Structure 1
């Protein structure tokens, strides 16, 4: 039987991380190890956690390395055949990890599999049951089932998906050895989508298994509506196009984003009174003008 490492990243949310730990333990999961990476939190809870949870591995980074950087620390330390990367704002359900591992066991060509995701605050509502392929001209794709009430219409689905979901993804360790670690230049948002492209280029497939279920508390660390999120969502949408769209599609996207997306976003900011978001959007665009596609410069001051 394949060994499973669960990896999660904490950033200033110790109680949320502890809730995740308790949910894993409550399910009696057969995971081999749990690794918690503290990603430069203001208060270092690792010494306390090490005492309270002696069977869990804790890693402390003194600086915030971003979503990818924090997870990569855990990946480097993990010993499992399969690495289950989960947001710290998630809650396990029975046989979650085992069900996903079974998919990887049966499909050697699959690099990553995600479970069905429901919102924790509205537990009968779907967040994710798969993504459609990307439109590389607009950098848009769809999430079938999003915000639908879960009445069983997506049960017993095990199939390929355009992209997995970064909140919960189980990855074959040997696939990471071939495709590389999660790209750290995104820092926050789109990094798992870019990683999916790397797995595809390495010859692997991506899957969803809706017989596995996880609950997601959504945007606890960043905030549902924040300048930080607005900056990286826009900066990294452009960056994703630069790294993955074919030349003709990439040129179309640039025109589409500047003329349509930026104009629309600015009008929405004004209508909602979010005037401070306007320079954030312009800064996101300017970052892509002044930085190469592999740059790790953030272009944003973290607070």
Structure 2
């Protein structure tokens, strides 16, 4: 029996069985021996199990949710089934590197206050270009943050590991005890902003988010939703507002609302109007309406509960 901690990989499949299998194929190169892999199928049109089983990937378990639970709900379903000491939430559209697990585990062994570790992320189709090398702090006026190193050529300029403000949802390893203390992902986000919210909650619980420069993955960005569409506009708008309501208070929240509703929102609406993008306008309207009909209490709980919200329909 291995004395090394068990690491549970959790990945979500949604109508991308071959993409998922490409990621699973890359895990054959892992040098860390004690891994289980959980594929959560979020109600795909076709059951991916036969294709995954055909690949004979080691230590893989498929969970069928029979519904689209979104990023948060799907990962939470996997977390409930995972047996690991550490959970590694990994997008299905990624490719891992051989020493990834060892590199991600190393910071945990040096600092008990580290609760989550993320690797350096490069673009799969442009393998020398960075997507993530940590996150900048939240801009409390705009409700946005930007990844350090985004679209820079990796020349070693971000090879210093250290604490960062937010995890990247494509790849994040978390201790089991962190989830026991800070909770898992908030189901209601469904798509976008959920890892920022989780990171903020983990930091409030007294843990650090850590960027490990030695660890590396490659990411096929935006294969699930695409670069721009009304669905993305809806969840970005809805969850940007929800995130700020859950994570900032007082005059900070008031200032953000003034900025957003007097400047950012009219500008976005005007652009879509000029382009004749009526579906985008409807998506933004529906996102605001959702926030107006769902309260957030002092604990950050959403009322009424939306854990079982149906996915937004264009």
Interval of TM-score (by shorter of Structure 1 and Structure 2) = over 0.9
**Number of residues paired by the alignment?**
302
User: Which residue, out of 69, 92, 95, partners 1:91?
Assistant: 95
Aligned to 2:299: none
C-alpha deviation, 1:170, in angstroms? 0.5
Who is 2:215 aligned against? 212
Structure 1 residues 4, 299: closer, same or farther in 2, change over 3 A?
closer
Distance change in 2, residues 1:298/1:260 (3 Å): farther
Q: Aligned equivalents of 2:312 and 2:167: distance in 1?
A: 29
Choose which of 161, 177, 198 in structure 1 pairs with 2:201. 198
Partner deviation per Cα, 1:223-260 (whole Å, 9 max, x = no partner): 22111111001100000011011221111111111111
Q: Retained in 2: the 8 A contact 1:31–1:97?
A: no
- Could you tell me whether the CA contact under 8 Å between 1:20 and 1:92 is conserved in 2? yes
Q: Check whether the contact 1:30–1:98 (CA below 8 A) recurs between aligned residues.
A: no
Q: Is the 8 A contact 1:39 1:61 kept in 2?
A: yes
Matches within 5 A, 1:185-264: 185-264=188-267
- The within-5 A match list for 1:111-190 is 111-155=115-159, 157-190=160-193
CA distance in structure 2 between the aligned counterparts of 1:231 and 1:31, rounded to whole angstroms: 40
Counterpart selection for 1:76 from 75, 80, 83:
80
Distance in 2 (alpha carbons) for counterparts of 1:220 and 1:9: 13
Provide the rounded CA distance (Å) in 2 between the counterparts of 1:228 and 1:31: 38
**Alignment TM-score, normalising by the size of structure 1:** 0.94
Match 1:18 to one of 11, 18, 21: 21
C-alpha displacement at 1:121, in angstroms? 1.3
In structure 1, distance between residues paired with 2:59 and 2:173 = 21
**Could you state the TM-score of these two structures normalised by the residue count of structure 2?**
0.91
Structure-1 residue corresponding to 2:278: 275
2:12 and 2:311 map into 1 onto residues whose CA distance is 21
What does the per-residue CA deviation read over 1:4-27, in whole Å, with 9 as the maximum and x for residues that have no partner? Answer: 111101011000000000011133
The residue aligned with 2:312 is 301
Distance 1:68 1:224 in 2: 20
Distance in 2 between the 1:249 and 1:299 partners?
31
Helix, strand or coil for the counterpart of 1:276? helix
Q: Which moved more, 1:39-48 or 1:181-190?
A: 39-48
Report the Cα distance in structure 2 between the residues aligned to 1:229 and 1:212, rounded to whole angstroms. 29
Give the C-alpha shift of residue 136 in structure 1: 2.5
Deviation, 1:50, is: 3.9
Secondary structure of the corresponding residue to residue 115 of structure 2: strand
Structure 1 residues 275 and 249, CA gap change in structure 2 (3 angstroms): same
Give CA deviations for 1:170-193 in whole Å, capped at 9, x if unaligned: 001110011111100111111111
* Range 105-114 or range 43-52, more displaced: 43-52
Unpaired segments ≥5 residues, structure 2: 297-301
Tell me if structure 1 keeps the 8 A contact 2:19–2:93. yes
